[in-house]
Every structure is written in structure tokens, then in C-alpha cells.
Amino acid sequence: MGSIELIATATFGLEAVVAREILKLGYKDVRMENGKVTFKADAGAICRTNLWLRSADRVLVKMGEYLACTYEELFEKTWSLPWADWLPENANFPVQGKSVKSRLFSISDCQAIVKKAIVEKMKQRYHRQWFEETGPRYVIEVALLKDVATLTIDTSGAGLHKRGYRKLASAAPLKETLAAAMINLSRWHPERVLIDPLCGSGTIPIEAALIGLNLAPGLGRGFAAEAWPIIPARLWQEARQEAKEAACCQHKLHIQGTDIDRDVLSLARYHARLAGVEQQIHWQELPLSRLRSRHNYGYIICNPPYGQRLEDLSSVERLYREMGEVFKALDTWSYYILTSHHNFEKLFGRRADKKRKLYNGRIQCNYYQFFGPRPPRRNSL
């Protein structure tokens, strides 16, 4: 197999973060669009990107992209793609769809036509009239945007946020992919202190520990494409071995997660143990008002409650005022705070040095960034 085109899908606002991760893996031909990053690579990249991408949602094989204003065009151009090169005779290939601002707006009709076109192409290759679909799973998507159809196959299976360590969920959990992006956007260095003073079930500290130890986030899970005959098993074995050898488990990190809820802290410890970073994070039951540190420089990264429900709003606003007072005492630290509250800066008592629009699920948020001074060169803590 030669060069193939892949798409790493991303939450809006995280495309540049995902693009940097892809470039870091050594893939150069990278193009950003809304909600996705397209790049060219070899088959081994399917393995490596699924294992290593921290902030992407999925990795897709891009089969084709073309203008489709009629159902006849959709059928013919889908049929022209090399489906049988990817799908074995027993492939299980459900077709999903979406359509935005396109003349072909009936998603169910588009799905049916794409499915029929693929079946007809496979009949030509395999010389049979019926396919039982009992084999490996290939989820195909037809996505229409302004009459342009993009056909893809999902290589990931479960979304990449499902690292495998979060078996139990607390209320309103932060996705692992967004937590990793928040850390990467902060430019945190593993030798520096990091505290999440409202850590909940521990996603931010755990993701920081995975980054600090250079542990591939997908190492503890499987992927749909591992069952595909077209990708040799040795490529997955090599990618996993590479990831294991890249880990820096001997590093000592300075990561702390605190919360007032004993039950969610117990959940955080459990998740850290499953993620293999239990020894790298100090968990503590602690009210925000008692937050202190002996270190002169560090990072606070947190995802506080947003006050989405009216009955919670006043308590959330009190929390933001308290955060402003408590963080003020850590005047050489940097703070990174994600919230959807439109009046956060006023309540916090300080205008952010920078803010970035991000989405936590369907909630539009701002990532408020307050930069502290750089530490002296020889004093990394």
C-alpha cells in the first residue's frame, strides 16, 4: 500500500492542536479545515496516530471527495472508488451520513445509495450477489457539505477520548481529548508543578501525567482497524512497541489534584491506577480556600462548574470570586480556566492575557489564560 489520505477529526477550536500532534509524529503534508485535519501518510500512520493522538476524536481513511448534486452522481462517483481494495468479502460495513447546506439533504437516501454503490463495486471484485457482513467492521460515512461529498472509513472504532482508564463517570465529566488539549495549549512543561484545584474525577491531572511520562494515550485499548486484513499485524506490533519504548516512566512529576468531594477523589485515584500513573499524582481532599504551594512557579489548569442551571448560578459566581482571591496569592503562577460563563473575568477580578473559544461537548466555552512570569532559568520549580 502506498500513500493514503487520512483525516483526524477534531472538536471545533482544536484543529491546530491536533495538527501539531500530527506534525510531531513526523507527518508533514498537513491541512487544517473546520473540525478536521487532513494529512498524507502510509498504512503505519493508521496505527501510530490512533495510539498517539491526544486531542483528536477519530482517525478516518479518506476514500474520496467529489461534487454530488444528484443521486446519480453520488452513486456513480461512490462506485468509482476502490472499496474492494479496503473491504474484504465478509466486511461488515454500515453507512452513516450527514448533510449540511446540500441539495442531497435526505441522509437516509444518501446512506442507501452509498451502500448500494459499494455493494455493486464489491460484486464486481468478489463475483457474488450477497454479502453476509460477518467479518471486521468498517464504519463508512458520507458527509455532504455544500454539495461536496466526502467518503471515509473509520479506523478508530470507539472515539479516541476513550483511553480505557475511565471506567466510571462522575457528573459532567470532561472528555480526555479536551483535557489533553487544555494542557497542551498551556505549554506546561513536565518539570513544572501542575495543580487542578477542582479536579473532580481526575481527568486533567491524569492526562497531564500521561503527557509528562510520554505515554501514548491509546496504548491500553484496541482499534477497529486492528482487525482489518489490509493492515499487517506487524505494523500494529511495531507501533505499540515503539510507544512502549518511548515512555519515560522514570520521570518524577509534580502533579496535584484537589477537591472537596471525597467520593470523586476516590474515583480519581481509581482512574489514575488504571491509567498507570497512580504514583505520579498527589490527590488531596481540600477546599479551594486552603490551596497553597511551597513552589514559586507553577500551573493551575481547571474546568470549574459553569452554572448552566439557574439554581447553581449564584454558587458558581461565588466560586469564581473565590478563585480570583485564592489564585491572587499565587502571583508567580499561570492559570488556565475553562468556563462558559460570559462574565467570568469580571467575577475573577482580572482580564485574561489570552482567551480561546473551545467546545466542551455542545457547550461553547472560553479558555481563559493568565500568564505568570517565567521562572529563573536554574529554578524549574
CATH number, domain with residue 295: 3.40.50.150
CB atoms near residue 289 (< 10 Å): 9
In a domain, 235, yes or no: no
- Regarding whether 116 and 22 lie in a shared domain, the answer is yes
Mean pLDDT, residues 164-190 taken together: 89
What is the secondary structure of 226-242 as a DSSP string?
GG-TTS-HHHHHHHHHH
Domain count across the chain: 2
- Regarding whether 185 and 129 lie in a shared domain, the answer is no
CATH at residue 27: 3.30.2130.30
- What whole-number distance in Å separates Cα of residue 287 and Cα of residue 285? 7
Answer for the pair 104, 68: CB distance below 8 angstroms, yes or no: yes
- Regarding whether 118 and 198 lie in a shared domain, the answer is no
- Regarding whether 188 and 78 lie in a shared domain, the answer is no
Res. 377: pLDDT tops 90: no
In a domain, 13, yes or no: yes
Helix residue ranges, H only, the chain:
15-24, 44-52, 71-79, 83-86, 107-126, 176-186, 203-212, 233-246, 262-275, 310-328, 344-348
**Residue written as grid cell 479516541:** 160
Could you tell me the residue range of the domain that residue 289 belongs to?
A: 176-216+248-370
Q: What is the pLDDT of residues 8-34, one digit of tens each?
A: 999 999 999 999 999 999 998 899 999
In a domain, 86, yes or no: yes
In a domain, 227, yes or no: no
- Identify the DSSP state of 92: B
**In the chain, what percentage of residues exceed pLDDT 70?**
97
In a domain, 239, yes or no: no
- Regarding whether 12 and 60 lie in a shared domain, the answer is yes
C-alpha cell read off for 293: 504551594
In a domain, 243, yes or no: no
Answer for the pair 240, 310: CB distance below 8 angstroms, yes or no: no
Answer for the pair 51, 239: CB distance below 8 angstroms, yes or no: yes
- Regarding whether 193 and 96 lie in a shared domain, the answer is no
- What whole-number distance in Å separates Cα of residue 245 and Cα of residue 226? 20
- Regarding whether 309 and 195 lie in a shared domain, the answer is yes
pTM of the model: 0.94
Confidence of residue 250 (pLDDT cuts 50, 70, 90): confident
- What whole-number distance in Å separates Cα of residue 141 and Cα of residue 297? 47
- Regarding whether 184 and 110 lie in a shared domain, the answer is no
**Residue written as grid cell 457528573:** 171
- What whole-number distance in Å separates Cα of residue 150 and Cα of residue 158? 21
In a domain, 225, yes or no: no
Residue 36 pairs with which residues in a beta bridge? 9, 33
Task: Report the SS3 class of residue 258.
Answer: strand
Q: What is the pLDDT of residues 65-122, one digit of tens each?
A: 999 999 999 999 999 999 999 999 999 999 999 999 999 999 999 999 999 999 999 9
93-107, 168-182, 274-288: which has the minimum mean pLDDT?
168-182
- Regarding whether 312 and 183 lie in a shared domain, the answer is yes
- Regarding whether 187 and 336 lie in a shared domain, the answer is yes
- Regarding whether 192 and 274 lie in a shared domain, the answer is yes
- Regarding whether 84 and 189 lie in a shared domain, the answer is no
Q: What is the pLDDT of residues 133-156, one digit of tens each?
A: 999 999 999 999 999 999 999 999
